[in-house]
Structure 1
Amino acid sequence: MSGRRVRLGRMIGVLLVAAVSQVPLAAQAAPAKHDVITWGASADRVGEAVADRSYRLVVRTSVGGDDLRIRLSNAFGDRPVTFDSVHAGIQRAGAALVPGSNRRLTFAGGRSVTVPAGATVLSDPLPGKAAAGLNLVISLHSPDAAGPATGHGMAMQTSYAAQGDHAAEEGAGHFTDTVGSWFYLDAVTVRTSATTGAVAALGDSITDGWESSTDLNRRWPDYLARRLAAAPGATVRGVANEGISGNKVLADGAGRSALNRLERDVLSHPGVRTVLVFEGVNDIKAHTGVTAGDLVAGYREIAARAHAAGKCVVGATVGPFKGWSEWDPAAEAVRQEVNAFIRDSGTFDAVADFDRILRSPYDPERIMPFFDNGDHLHPNDKGMQALADSVDLTSLECAAGPRAGAPTATD
């Protein structure tokens, strides 16, 4: 073959490669993607709403991805609430944002959205990437908020507020008020690989992070998110913290009960593959007559509903609380019976034995002093990390579909 023909052949090859690279992505076998929750906080009533107020809400992402979306909740409102300015940016320091990062979010193409009483609404996808472990800032303004406000009371995170519409601003000048709650925002999702999933932690104040260090993301679900991010081969990367301080499995009070909020706070979120249930101590210590059998029935119902939705369920044992004012031998007997069920019944796909991690070797009815924040119920930062470190990450890797032979709520 002549040199001219060789050069011509090479040119044709280059042109073919270039032509293939120009084929629209839709015509190529693009990797499958889906939406996964990257941050969540259970909704509850948080006092009375204030009109013409801007909130600058700081949250921490767990899994990275594209096309960020947020969910606004008016679940506890008694009238519609309108949001006319909603933005997503990146925290620089305090209420100040990284310059150029604050971008407007839209809803069905519009700049404003009205959320009916009792409802939630999703934003449109925001083009671009959102990293894992990002201090994301959602700024929102409502001109007409009134009546009961919806949000998450105990954020363990400083956010900011200002009177008037300042959601689009990147400076901190107008955000002179600090708040310890998240208002109206209950979820952030990203679009990522279809093989990536999330775990939702359904719990009470220990999951919510009470007595962990404010603004440092040291709740046990935060430590778990960092473990998952660093774990080679892990496909569960998202972590949604669905804890409410004072929450119970069976009865409404501090938030709706775990049974009553399971759908809204866990099963409705995209990409949730596994539910980790860590509740029960508030039912036990309240001395309302709740028996171990009552709690067992509640756990069975949670597991059955989650399995029916195609999720796996990890049950966490109830931690020790001797020394807390409501402890007595009768409550301890219920706790021991409940923990035996969680460990041995086979109701759950796996068990996280948080009781074993927290209890003192010298008095197993008490929390280990090294992990005790001082009230004999809630772990300190070290205890929070120990809980997260004890979770078997492979137990979170759940295949889709109900577990074969899983007990039902009536078994």
Structure 2
Amino acid sequence: MSGRFARGCHIAAALLTALACQTGPARAAGTLPESATGTTGVVTWAAAADRMGEGTAGQGYRLIVRTSVGGSDLRVRFTNAFGDRPLTLDGVYAGLRDQGAALRPGTNRRLTFGGARTVTVPAGAVAWSDPLPGRLPAGTDLVVSLRTPDAAGPATGHWMAMQTSYTGQGDHTAEESGAGWAQTTGSWWYMDAVAVRPAGTGTGAVVALGDSITDGWQSTTDLNRRWPDYLARRLGSTGTPVKGVANAGISGNKLLADGAGESALHRLDRDVLSQPGVRTVFLFEGVNDIKAHSGVTAADLIAGYRDIARRAHGAGKCVVAATVSPFKGWYEWDPAAEALRQEVNQFLRTSGDFDAVTDFDRTLRSPYDPERILPFLDGGDHLHPNDKGMQAMADAVDPESLDCTR
């Protein structure tokens, strides 16, 4: 048996255990299970919730996500945050991906909710699945399949996933074959977090609160090359107890104003502080406020940064702030926006409001024109880094800074 095949069998066997079938008394749709109110463990994957357009009755989704920290007792959080009516999910399964929409044989197992196979999530609410015993490895393509039998009205999800997932009509969620999943989607639907119980005591997670740079725009789709992905791989091989990485980036997001998603100020509780096992908030916001020419001042942004730090500290979390990266060459850049960026970065570097600061400006800027991204790291639009730039950002984060004393 080849080494590669042996390792594959070992991981598949682990998931057979991790995704063991759950049994229990049926629970009628229309009630929220006790597990919806929270979960223990540590977040291993997350995506910020946003409005997605209209839901589709009878639509199936096969969603691909990448775990960061490994652990046991897998739980998945489903969201109806922006819905205006109850959302029923049925035929919800989790398994390991083989390739495309196909799963590794024997790994697709049903998720339950308070023992029931169906859950109805009220408008504005979330629901956690019951835990599945066994261990789920780190760095795994987890596949969550679900069906929305009567969805209507506003859907909730994350539109720019930088990951291909799959959709289909009919009830194919229990099938491990990819044959029933002929259409693709670049979004995640109705799911915003996955948690596990790590083996090590004291293990925690960091949540990256950001915009399109954190969301991964200009990184390579389907290869998990967003800067939080690179950070997750780094943390997995270091001695820090912070191992989980959750990505709470939304393309176009602002610190202060709603628009492309709710502002960082407005979504902090839902997308960040509610995640299980969070040790640290990594705050990388502001460029969209700065380049919008909306009359926002440095004082406005400073007040916003301080508010997030105060609330996160009040919740017992560490806060690491990142400086705003250069964007000269982007169509909204001008000297006034650059002056505002420099003023904001001076505050971020020197204020003492944060437990640590990561200088993404210094990491990405060109030594020949420090108002620009170094061309080698530029994704091509002079605002978003490429894969190399994303890796450089992750390498700039000091793992020890993610574990302060609070």
Q: Does 1:207 align with 2:217?
A: no
Q: Structure 1 residues 143 and 34, CA, compared in 2 at 3 Å: closer, same or farther?
A: closer
Alignment of 1:80 onto 2:74: no
The aligned counterpart of 2:67 is 61
| Matches of 1:113 and 1:242, distance apart in 2 | 25
1:330 aligns with 2:348: no
Amino acid at match of 1:287: H
Q: Secondary structure of the equivalent of 1:293? A: helix
Pair 1:392 & 2:398 matched: yes
Alignment check: 8 A CA contact 1:205 1:247 kept: yes
Residue 275 of structure 2 aligns to a residue whose secondary structure is coil
For structure 2, the 5+ residue unaligned runs are 1-38
User: Residue 223 of structure 1 corresponds to which residue in structure 2?
Assistant: 230
Equivalent residue for 2:202, pick from 195, 209, 213:
195
Corresponding residue SS for 1:84: strand
Contact residue 283 and residue 321 of structure 2 kept, 8 A = yes
Q: Is 1:273 equivalent to 2:279 in the alignment?
A: yes
Preserved contact between residue 90 and residue 148 of structure 2 (Cα < 8 Å):
yes
The SS at the match of 2:328 is: coil
The residue number in structure 1 matching 2:18 is none
Deviation at 1:313, TM superposition (A): 0.3
The residue number in structure 1 matching 2:56 is: 50
Q: 1:80 deviation in Å? A: 0.6
The letter for the 2-side match of 1:117 is: A
Question: Which amino acid letter does the alignment assign opposite residue 288 of structure 2?
Answer: N
Q: C-alpha distance in 1, partners of 2:40/2:129?
A: 16
Coordinate RMSD, CA, aligned:
0.9
Deviations 1:214-243, CA, capped at 9 Å, x for gaps: 000000000000000011x22100000000
Q: Residue 153 of structure 2 corresponds to which residue in structure 1? A: 147
- Preserved contact between residue 74 and residue 197 of structure 2 (Cα < 8 Å): yes
Which whole-Å CA distance do the structure 1 matches of 2:280 and 2:89 have between them?
32
Distance in structure 2 (CA, Å) of the matches to 1:358 and 1:119: 39
Structure 1 residue matching 2:124: 3-state secondary structure: coil
Superposition pairs of residues 110-125 of structure 1, within 5 angstroms: 110-125=116-131
The one of 166, 188, 208 aligned to 1:182: 188
Residue pair 2:256, 2:263 contacting (<8 A) in 1 also:
yes
Cα deviation, residue 34, structure 1: 4.9
Give the alignment's TM-score, normalised by structure 1: 0.88
Structure 1 contact 34–194 (Cα < 8 Å) conserved? no
- Count residues with an aligned counterpart: 367
TM-score, with structure 2 as normaliser: 0.90
* Structure 1 residue 128, shift from structure 2 partner: 1.3
Task: List alignment gaps of at least 5 residues for structure 1.
Answer: 1-32, 402-411
SS in 1 for 2:376: helix
CA distance in 1, matches of 2:171, 2:80: 20
> Which residue is equivalent to 1:308?
314
| 4+ residue segments displaced more than 6 Å | none
Q: Distance in 2 between matches of 1:76 and 1:166?
A: 26
Q: Which residue of 2 aligns with 1:11?
A: none
Shift of 1:398: 2.5
- Counterpart-to-counterpart distance in 1, 2:400 and 2:379: 30
Moved more, 89-98 or 161-170: 161-170
| 3-state DSSP of counterpart to 2:320 | strand
What whole-Å deviation, never above 9, does each CA across 1:366-407 have from its counterpart, x for those lacking one?
1110011110000000000000001011000133x3xxxxxx
Letter in 2 for 1:167: T
Separation in 1, partners of 2:292, 2:265: 17
